[in-house]
Amino acid sequence: MKKWQKKQLAAKLRRQGLSYKEINAETGLAKSTLSSWLKDIKLSPKQQAILNSRFDTQLRGAKANRISREKEIRNIRKQAGSEIRGKMTPQEFFLSGLMLYWAEGNKTLYPGIANSDPKLIRFMMKWLRKICSIPTENIKIHLHLHSGQNENKAKEYWSNITHLPLSRFGKSYIKKEGSGHRKNILYNGTAKISVYNKDLLYRILSWIQAVRF
């Protein structure tokens, strides 16, 4: 179908009282195109009232679906929460940390892990201290921040998460604006934990290699 034919069809459907969404479904024309082509076509009060009524019905339906879905999600969360029974055993804690390290940790040079999730970082700090017996003085933390973020506040935040003093923070990496990085700025940045113990890296990699499923 040629452009002028599509335009005629769109105008005909609009005069019949169809919405842009309905014309889009019928013709495949973008809503922005329809808005430009059909802006001068006026609907009768009756047609406009019908469109408004359908729109209100759609809004109520969407709201009802959203409420129903939120209820389903709450039930899923409640059920999932009940499936985790009690605290981790020492072996479960060891393996959980090992799996997280396998997925997220450094595999070369030295042990370490970087993430923006404070719960994950808190868990792994506990794992490094309890399972690997790493003292605070062997741990260093560097932050990756975006331009405009408050570095001092970010350091205080991650210090509370990791229980590391500010003296253990190295130079932060600040991503400049317009450097092609993603726009959704992580409010507290990303924490990169580094452990200065080369032997530990070999131990962790050997643990991972020894895992049997």
Q: Model confidence over 112-162: pLDDT tens digits?
A: 999 999 999 999 999 999 999 999 999 999 999 998 899 999 999 999 999
User: What one-letter code names the amino acid at 188?
Assistant: N
Fold type of domain 90-210: 60s Ribosomal Protein L30; Chain: A; (3.30.1330)
Degrees (nearest 5) of the Cα angle 135, 100, 186?
A: 90
Cβ neighbours for 170, distance < 8 A, ≥ 6 positions apart: 140, 141, 142
Inter-residue contact 159 to 110 (CB < 8 Å)? no
CB burial of residue 40 (10 Å; 0-12, 13-18, 19+): exposed
Which pTM value belongs to this model?
Answer: 0.69
CB burial of residue 56 (10 Å; 0-12, 13-18, 19+): exposed
Q: Phi, psi at residue 143, to the nearest 5°? A: -105, 140
pLDDT at 178: 63
Among 44-58, 138-152, 171-185, 198-212, the range scoring the smallest mean pLDDT is 171-185
Closest of 131, 161, 148 to residue 187, by C-alpha: 148
- Per DSSP, the residues of 156-178 read HHHHHHHT--GGGB-PPEEEPTT
Structural domain boundaries in the chain:
3-80, 90-210
**Tell me: the pLDDT tens digits for 59-95?**
888 889 999 999 999 999 999 988 887 889 999 999 9
Alpha helices by DSSP H, 83-131:
90-104, 118-130
**Tell me: the pLDDT tens digits for 16-47?**
888 888 889 888 889 889 988 888 888 888 88
